[in-house]
C-alpha cells in the first residue's frame, strides 16, 4: 500500500517536472535568442 502511494507521488513529481520543462525550455530558448540580440547594443 505504502509502495503504491510512493509510486503515485513519484509519478506526480515527474509530471510536474515534465510539464514545467515543456513550457520553460521554449521560453528559455526565446529569452536566449533575445538576449543574444540585446548584446549587440553593448558591442
Footprint on this chain of other proteins (rule: CB under 8 A): 12, 15-16, 19-20, 22-23, 26-27, 29-31, 33-35, 37-43
Cβ-based burial of 12 (10 A; exposed 0-12, middle 13-18, buried ≥19): exposed
Give whole-number Cα distances, 23 to 3, 9, 18, 29, 39, in Å: 31, 22, 9, 10, 25
Whichever of 3 and 9 has its CB closer to other proteins, that residue is 9
Closest approach, Cβ 38 to other proteins, in A, equals: 4
Whichever of 3 and 41 has its CB closer to other proteins, that residue is 41
Amino acid at each position: 500500500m505504502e509502495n503504491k502511494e510512493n509510486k503515485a507521488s513519484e509519478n506526480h513529481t515527474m509530471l510536474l517536472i515534465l510539464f514545467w520543462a515543456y513550457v520553460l525550455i521554449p521560453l528559455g530558448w526565446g529569452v536566449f535568442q533575445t538576449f543574444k540580440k540585446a548584446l549587440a547594443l553593448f558591442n
